[in-house]
Amino acid sequence: MSRRIGLFALFLSTSGPIGAETLADAIVDAYRNNPQLQAQRAELRALDESVLQAGAPYRMSAGVTATIGYNDRLQRSAVAEGFARFEQRSMGASLSVTQLLSSGGRTAAQMSAAEADVLAGRERLREAENQTLFQVIDSYVAVRRDLELVEIQSQSVASYRRQVGQARLREREGDLTRTDVAQAEAQLLIIEAALAQTQASLEQSRSRFAAVVGRNPGTLEPPPPLPGVPGSVDLGYALAERESPILWQALLAERASRHRIAAERAERHPTISAQGSLGYVNPLGYRVRDLGRVASGGLTVTVPLLTQGVVGSRVRAAIAQQQSAAFLIEDARRSVDAGLLNAWNQTVTADRQIASGEAAVSAARLALDGVGRAFTEGFRSNFELIDSEQRLLNAQVIVANARYGRYAGQATLLALLGRLQAANLVPDAPRYDAEKNLRHNKAWQFGPFEPLLHVLDRPQQASDRSRAAPVPAAPADARIAPADPAAIGTDRPLARELPLRAEGLPLPSVPPEKP
C-alpha cells in the first residue's frame, strides 16, 4: 500500500514530457535559450563597438559637399541716383579628406582601455554563463531531492496511517489507551503537514528549473559527477587566481583605468592632422561648363598651452578611478576565496552527512523492524514505535538533503573558478563565439593607415602610473567608545506611535516656470 502511494506521488510530481531527461540536456537548452545569458551576450556585442569607436581617429574621414547659391543685393550707386541691383549665382562640389597623423598617444591609450573593457566584458559573460549553469544544476538536483523527500514522506504517511488504524483497533480491544491513539494521530498529522510543505517546495524547484532552462522538467536522470572539482581548498585558491572570472573582471577593469590615466595625460601633447580637398566651383552662374577646379591641402599642428585646469582635473579623476579599481581587485579576491571556503566546507560536510546518514538509515530501519515486531507482540509501547518511525524518517531526510548539498557545493566551487561552462560540461554542445562579432566588425572598417599610425602613436603614450591612495592611519589604542548608561537600561518603554502631524507633511515647493 505504501509503495503504491509513493509511486502515485512520484507520478504526479514528474508529470511532463515522456522520456527521461539528463543534466546535459538541461545545460544545452539553457545555454542556447536563457534570456539572461542572451542579454549578456548582447551587452558584450555593444561593448565591442567601443574598440572601433576608440580607434576611429586613426581612420580617414572623407565627405562630399555640394552647394548651390543665389545672392540678391541692392546697393546705392555711387554715380547715379537710386539703388543698383546685384545678383550672384554660384554652384560647386568638393571632396574633403582628413587624416590624423599623430594624437600624441591619446588614441593609442583609448584603444588599449577599450580593449581591456572588452576583455572584462568577456569575463562578465563567462561569469554569467557560470551563474546560469549553476542555476540549472541547482534546480535540477533540487527537483530530484524534493521528489525523493516526497517519496520518503509519502511512505511515512502510509506507515503512520497503518499505525493509527492498528492503534484504534487495539484501543477497542483494550490493549491501548486513547492517549496512545492520540500520539499516533498527532504524528500522522505532523508528517502530512511536512509532506504538504515538501510538495510545495517541489513545485518551487520545478518553477526555478523552468525559468532558467525554458521548459518544465520531466523525469530527471541522476546527475553524473562534475568534472574539474579541485581536490583541496588550497588548490581551489590557486586556481581562482588564474581562472576566476570575478577576479579577472576586476583585474581588467584596473588595467583599463590605467590606460585612461595615460589618455587623459596625452591631452597635453601636440596633435598633427592633414587635410585636403578637391572640387569644382562656378562662382558666377549655374553653367556646368564654367566649373573651375579648386584644390587645397595642409597640415595642422595643435599645441595645447592653457587648458583652464580641465586636463589636470581629468587626470586626477582618472587616478582616483584607478585607485578604486585597485581596491576592488582585493575585494573580489576576498569574495571569491570566502565563497570557495564556504562551498568547500559545504561539500565536505555533506560527504560526512551522507556517510553518517546512510549508516543511520540502516540502523534505524533495523531498529524499526525489531520494534514493530515487539509492538505487535505487546513488548513495545506505541510511543517507541512512533519514535523509531520518526528516527528512520529523519535519517532519510538527512541523506537526501546531504546529497543535494554535496552536488550544489561542488557546482558552487566550479562556478567561482569559472569552470562551470558548457564547453567543459558538454564538449559536443554548440558554443557562442564571444570574439566573432568584434573580428567581423573590424574587417569592415576602412583604415589603410590605421596599423601604421597605431605603431607610431603608441611610443608617445603618456605614463599610466598612479600615486598611492591615502589610507587612514591606525589608532594607537583602538577601543569602543563608552556607552551612555541611560541607554542600556532594561526599563525603557516601548515605542507605540509615529510622530505624525495632524495637518500632514508640507509638499515640496515647485520652482516657477521660466517665461
Which of 363-377, 381-395, 412-426, 436-450 has the highest mean predicted lDDT (pLDDT)?
A: 412-426
> When comparing pLDDT for 494 and 278, which is higher?
278
Position 454 confidence tier, pLDDT thresholds 50, 70, 90: confident
Cell readout for 420 is 562551470
Mean pLDDT in residue range 337-359? 94
Per CATH, the homologous superfamily of domain 2-75+84-443 is Outer membrane efflux proteins (OEP) (1.20.1600.10)
Write the DSSP symbol of residue 196: H
Mean pLDDT value across residues 283-298: 89
Whether residue 282 contacts residue 292, with contact meaning beta carbons closer than 8 Å, is answered with yes
Reported as a pLDDT band with limits 50, 70 and 90, residue 265 is very high
Instruction: Write the pLDDT tens digit of every residue in 456-487.
Output: 887 777 888 888 888 778 778 887 778 777 66
Is the per-residue pLDDT at 161 higher than 90?
no
- What are the pLDDT digits (tens) for 163-204? 788 778 877 877 778 887 888 888 889 889 989 999 999 999
The model's confidence at residue 76, banded by pLDDT at 50, 70 and 90, is confident
User: d(Cα 508, Cα 499) in Å, to the nearest integer?
Assistant: 19
| pTM for the model | 0.83
Of 126, 143, 68, the residue nearest 432 (C-alpha): 126
Confidence of residue 246 (pLDDT cuts 50, 70, 90): very high
**pLDDT given at position 458:** 79
Spatial CA neighbour of 253 closest among 155, 321, 314, 166: 321
pLDDT at 14 over 50: no
pLDDT digits (tens, 9 = 90+) for 425-439: 999 888 899 999 999
Q: How far apart are CA 435 and CA 426, in angstroms?
A: 20
Please give the angle made by the CA atoms of 271, 277 and 282, to the nearest 5 degrees.
150
Whole-angstrom distance, CA of residue 331 vs CA of residue 323: 13
Residues 6+ positions from 133 with CB-CB distance below 8 Å: 27, 30, 31, 415, 420, 421, 422, 425
- Domains of the chain by residue range: 2-75+84-443
Structural contact between residues 147 and 14, judged by C-beta atoms closer than 8 angstroms? yes
Query: d(Cα 396, Cα 357) in Å, to the nearest integer?
Result: 7
Q: Which helix (H) or strand (E) holds 273?
A: strand 271-282
With b meaning 16 or more CB within 10 Å and e meaning fewer, what string describes 414-425? bbbbbbbbbeeb
- What are 31-56's pLDDT values in tens digits? 999 999 999 999 999 999 999 999 99
497 is written with which cell numbers?
506611535
Q: Which of 25, 27, 21, 4 is CA-nearest to residue 421?
A: 27
Q: Which residues contact 362 (CB under 8 A, 6 or more apart)?
A: none
Q: What is the pLDDT of residue 369?
A: 86
Contact 150, 199 (CB under 8 A): yes
pLDDT at 490: 64
Q: What is the pLDDT of residue 508?
A: 58
Distance from chain centroid for Cα 369: 51
Which position has the higher pLDDT, 225 or 450? 225
Contact 23, 57 (CB under 8 A): no
Q: What is the mean pLDDT of residues 350-363?
A: 93
Burial class (CB in 10 A: 0-12, 13-18, 19+), 201: middle
The one-letter amino acid at 197 = Q
Percent of the chain whose pLDDT exceeds 90: 59
DSSP three-state, residue 87: strand
Going by C-alpha positions, the residue among 445, 447, 441, 451 that lies closest to residue 46 is 441
Whether pLDDT at 25 is above 80: yes
